[in-house]
């Protein structure tokens, strides 16, 4: 959360940050331009359109759907 706060402060001050991540927390920073890379190439995507966000939402809604394959 500290990193999210720092990045948001940098952006508010006019700074730019390039960050490669799988973190939905970082992708949710207000005003972020998010580019998603996948089999389709690279595309600009809104937070709710990100594949990783969909996976996290599905996991949080039903963890055993994912964990039953490992347990």
Q: Is 40 helix (H, G, I), strand (E, B) or coil?
A: coil
pTM summary value: 0.67
Rounded to an integer, the average pLDDT of 13-30 is 84
Rounded to an integer, the average pLDDT of 10-28 is 85
Q: How far is residue 15's CA from residue 40's CA, in Å, rounded to a whole number?
A: 29
- Number of structural domains found in the chain: 1
Q: Which range of residues forms the domain containing residue 52?
A: 2-67
* pLDDT single digits (tens) 32-63: 888 888 898 999 999 999 988 999 999 999 99
Q: Is the pLDDT of residue 71 over 70?
A: no
Confidence at residue 43, expressed as pLDDT on a 0 to 100 scale: 92
- 68, 22, 57, 67: CA torsion to nearest 10: 10
Largest CA distance in the chain: 47
Burial class (CB in 10 A: 0-12, 13-18, 19+), 8: middle
């Amino acid at each position: 959360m500290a990193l999210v706060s720092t990045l948001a402060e940098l952006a508010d001050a006019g700074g730019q940050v390039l960050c490669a991540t799988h973190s939905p927390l970082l992708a949710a920073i207000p005003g972020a331009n998010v580019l998603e890379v996948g089999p389709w190439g690279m595309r600009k995507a809104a937070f709710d359109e990100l594949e990783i966000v969909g996976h996290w939402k599905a996991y949080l809604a039903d963890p055993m759907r994912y964990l039953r394959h490992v347990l």
